[in-house]
């Protein structure tokens, strides 16, 4: 682990219950980042999604990938941008392959495809173990808080 949740909070403005990245395992500057989310039964969203059959909402899996990408942009590509926020611009080609349930460790792998000005384009994949559970292409912009 190269970044714990306290260090992640130095870059992302998200806080409980919406911070969806617990640790960063690897960053290759300008190329890729790997983060994790430990999914527990105590997550707020399991109260209603779904009672008796808890499944992590797909939109939150995509959000976790986007937050991981945000850490990469704010901690390496744009060091002078620490304290700024990342805004979604597009989310494309989203695919959900398997449900994510309590007890899973979600591993998010993001590749930076292009970076120009204050806009980054990423391809993200989320895994549980060796199985891909979701993937998406996304663009995000660095903005003011």
Contacts of 18 (CB under 8 A, 6+ apart): 63
For residue 5, CA distances in Å to 9, 98, 116 come to 6, 26, 28
Inter-CA distances, 83 with 15, 58, 70, 134, 143, Å:
14, 27, 11, 29, 10
Q: Can you tell me the distance from the alpha carbon of 31 to that of 41, in angstroms, rounded to the nearest whole number?
A: 33
* Annotated catalytic residue within 49, 78, 115, 137: 49
Instruction: Reply yes or no on whether 14 is catalytic.
Output: no
Catalytic residue positions? 49
């Amino acid at each position: 682990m190269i970044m714990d949740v306290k260090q992640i909070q130095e870059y992302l403005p998200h806080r409980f219950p919406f911070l969806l990245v617990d640790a960063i395992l690897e960053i290759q500057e300008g190329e890729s980042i790997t983060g994790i989310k430990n999914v527990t039964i105590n997550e707020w969203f399991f109260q209603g999604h779904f009672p008796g059959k808890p499944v992590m909402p797909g939109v939150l899996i995509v959000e976790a990938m986007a937050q991981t990408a945000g850490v990469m942009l704010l901690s390496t590509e744009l060091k002078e941008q620490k304290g700024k926020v990342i805004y979604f611009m597009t989310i494309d080609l989203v695919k959900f392959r398997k449900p994510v349930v309590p007890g899973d460790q979600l591993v998010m792998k993001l590749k930076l495809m292009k970076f120009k000005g204050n806009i980054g384009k990423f391809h993200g994949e989320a895994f549980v173990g060796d199985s891909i559970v979701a993937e998406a292409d996304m663009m995000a912009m660095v903005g003011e808080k």
